[in-house]
């Protein structure tokens, strides 16, 4: 038996005739009624967790979702879980759930790029594919995945590449884990390992007792000053995920601010705005990745800025705010 946790997104929307715009409208029961094939795939139970558009999701909401999902999967009669979600932030929630949850049972996030009002509504097809993956024994142990357009994407790598296309999701560097082909769940590769650590006082199925959500994201841009970074620190951020150029390089004007932030006990990670590849200390000029590393920033491998921010929230929660210990966990995660 699988659970289906409905949290919102375009899959639950219709076009408002008065405005011509998509708005939340469908209940969990409404959506399931549009997918009569589901009972032939697996026995299932449903729960309506919310009807949030993707941009309304917060880290606190992800935390509550992870705890609810873990409770579902602690049940011995539940073999896997499907979570419907808005596609604008499905990448972040998938990654956060993958970090937080310890289960080996399949957890599958799914959404839609079209509403029920559109003739090309992709919600039913995506939900069917997601249910097949959640019910498949071969998916056990693969961590949290996103299933869209019959492709299976790992939480760590999935990216929304297009604003509207039904084929919006991809893994730019390595391709999908597999696919749902003619009703069969096929895996061609396996995702990278997830963290192994777990707080002793955490709830069953959850890796940490709390999140540290005071982590900001700062995007490097040409000609920037150190003002955005210093403002984040002055505003109380205990972590900053810095999105750099290319291999992990920034305008030299912000390096002193990075150095000061680290000296003040703030965790700083460096990611790239590029869609593929890793950051490194390859460049040694002023503002280069080597200088950032020497200033105490953590080069976060192939993680995006959004992922590095969420990973900071989890590791800082695990280490009770100790930036050095959190940095060590981030290094080990890569």
Which residues are marked as active site? 10
Residues whose CB falls within 8 Å of the CB of residue 47, separated by 6 or more in sequence, listed in order: 3, 4, 5, 6, 28, 68, 72
Residue 229, CA distances (Å) to 225, 226, 280, 301, 302 in order: 9, 6, 21, 21, 22
The torsion angles phi and psi of 82, rounded to 5 degrees, stand at -105, 135
The Cα 136–Cα 145 span in angstroms is 13
The torsion angles phi and psi of 90, rounded to 5 degrees, stand at -65, -30
CA angle 296, 275, 292 (to 5 degrees): 15
Q: Which of 133, 127, 181, 182 is nearest to 155 (CA)?
A: 133
Residues whose CB falls within 8 Å of the CB of residue 103, separated by 6 or more in sequence, listed in order: 70, 73, 205
Residue 189: CB atoms within 10 Å: 11
For residues 253 and 226, the answer to whether their CB atoms sit within 8 Å is: yes
The Cα 47–Cα 255 span in angstroms is 48
Residue 168, CA distances (Å) to 20, 23, 164, 325 in order: 23, 20, 7, 37
């Amino acid at each position: 038996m699988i659970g289906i946790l409905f949290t919102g997104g375009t899959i639950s929307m219709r076009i408002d005739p008065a405005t011509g715009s998509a708005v939340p409208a469908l209940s969990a029961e409404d959506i399931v009624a549009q997918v009569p094939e589901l009972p032939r795939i697996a026995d299932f139970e449903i729960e309506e967790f919310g009807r949030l558009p993707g941009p309304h999701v917060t880290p606190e909401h992800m935390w509550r979702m992870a705890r609810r999902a873990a409770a579902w999967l602690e049940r011995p009669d539940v073999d896997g879980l499907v979570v419907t979600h808005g596609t604008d932030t499905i990448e972040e929630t998938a990654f956060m759930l993958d970090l937080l949850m310890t289960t080996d049972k399949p957890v599958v996030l799914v959404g839609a790029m079209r509403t029920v009002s559109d003739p090309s509504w992709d919600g039913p097809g995506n939900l069917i594919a997601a249910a097949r993956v959640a019910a498949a024994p071969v998916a056990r142990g693969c961590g949290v995945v996103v299933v869209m357009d019959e492709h299976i994407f790992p939480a760590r790598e999935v990216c929304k590449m297009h604003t509207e296309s039904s084929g919006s999701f991809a893994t730019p560097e390595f391709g999908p884990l597999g696919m749902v082909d003619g009703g069969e769940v096929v895996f061609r590769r396996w995702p990278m390992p997830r963290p192994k650590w777990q707080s002793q006082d955490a709830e069953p199925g959850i890796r940490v007792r709390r999140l540290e959500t005071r982590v900001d994201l700062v995007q490097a841009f040409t000609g920037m000053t150190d003002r955005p970074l210093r403002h984040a620190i002055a505003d109380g951020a205990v972590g900053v995920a810095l999105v750099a150029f290319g291999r992990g390089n920034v305008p030299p004007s912000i390096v002193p601010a990075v150095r000061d932030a680290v000296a003040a006990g703030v965790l700083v990670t460096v990611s790239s705005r590029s869609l593929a590849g890793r950051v490194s200390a390859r460049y040694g000029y002023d503002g280069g990745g080597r200088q950032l590393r020497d200033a105490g920033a953590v080069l976060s491998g192939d993680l995006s800025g959004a992922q590095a921010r969420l990973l900071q929230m989890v590791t800082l929660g695990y280490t009770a705010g100790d930036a050095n210990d959190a940095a060590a966990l981030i290094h080990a995660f890569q």
